Amino acid sequence: MRYCQEIFKVLQAHQIEHFFYIGGNDSSDTVRIVSLEAQKAGYPLRSIHIPKTIDNDLVGNDHTPGFPSAARFVAQAFAGANLDNAALPGVYVGVVMGRHAGFLTAASALGKKFPDDGPHLIYLPERTFVLENFLADVKATYARFRRCVVAVSEGIHDASGAPIASLLAQDLEIDAHGNVQLSGNGALADLLCAEIKSRLGIKRVRGDTFGYLQRSFIGCVSDVDQREAREVGEKAVQFAMWGTQDGSVAIKRTGFYSVDYELLPLEAVAGKTRVMEDEFISASGTDVTDAFRMYLRPLLGSGMPDAFRLRHHPVAKVLNPGR
């Protein structure tokens, strides 16, 4: 609250009458508070929140700028990890950003092409994480394919709602909004890999924490995301200059894939969190549905790289190993 009051003081001191703030849930709440401060002071300030979050967790939006490009990165990263895992079989665990919403982790499924491709298992914060069930899933998958690729959200939690990562970390960093920082270390990947090694007896187990690369990788930008990020900013200016209300710009999908933009009341968005809809998550809770694939595919943009396989042509043995 205090830093929001300081923002308003600066705006007022410089006689600024239009305030645009880009970000996610917490940023929308900042705009709401600044807007209230201006109203209490009787100051003519138009406050507009512009959506941007790779978590894709803003309510009232079909999706948010930043998410499509980050999802494109995650899909391609897992497509590559799958090829590596197929060449050198074992278990691979990739931890993806997503505190409460699993959209970005679920995007890993778009890296699959063939039925036996990974990720074979996907764990989202929308479902309770049970370590024993996780180990059983990995064991069964490894027995079936002789390898296993796993996508895990950083926000997976136990039955009490406590994030698994926060239960493991020795020192917890808290941001200005009271959120535990989950992306600053590889504790979750390390724990899961250690459990697989020790309890399943699988020797080759590797883990990665994607961290900040997935939200800032300039070489992997969705052209759809790039276009909409500019358009949503343009709409924000239009709403501010020609409208009479403060609010949050929202992207609405129309048709198979086109979008329109609306201005939502700040209180309808601020501080709220959208999570993945049940129709996007498989009954097993370890995969996504075709509805999610249809939802995400047009957002990834054009020119997605493809993975191919050589056809197998078995050759009869010439040498007899027994001789």
Tell me the C-alpha distance between 14 and 22, whole Å: 20
Measured at the CA of 118, the angle between CA 116 and CA 121, to 5 degrees, comes to 105
DSSP H or E segment with residue 137: helix 131-145
Q: Is 225 a catalytic residue?
A: no
Say which of 29, 55, 57, 117 is annotated catalytic: 55
User: Could you give the strand order of the β-sheet that contains 46-51, starting from the edge strand earlier in sequence?
Assistant: 18-23, 46-51, 247-254, 258-264
DSSP letter string, 180-201: BP-SS--HHHHHHHHHHHHHH-
Backbone angles phi, psi at 322, to 5 degrees: -80, -15
Contact 297, 61 (CB under 8 A): no
Q: What are residue 284's phi and psi, to 5 degrees? A: -70, -20
- Number of H helices and E strands in the chain, helices first, is 10, 8
Sheet holding 148-153, edge to edge: 121-123, 148-153, 91-96, 205-209
Q: Tokens at residue 105, please?
A: 């982790």
Amino acid found at 135 = L
Q: Which residues are catalytic?
A: 55
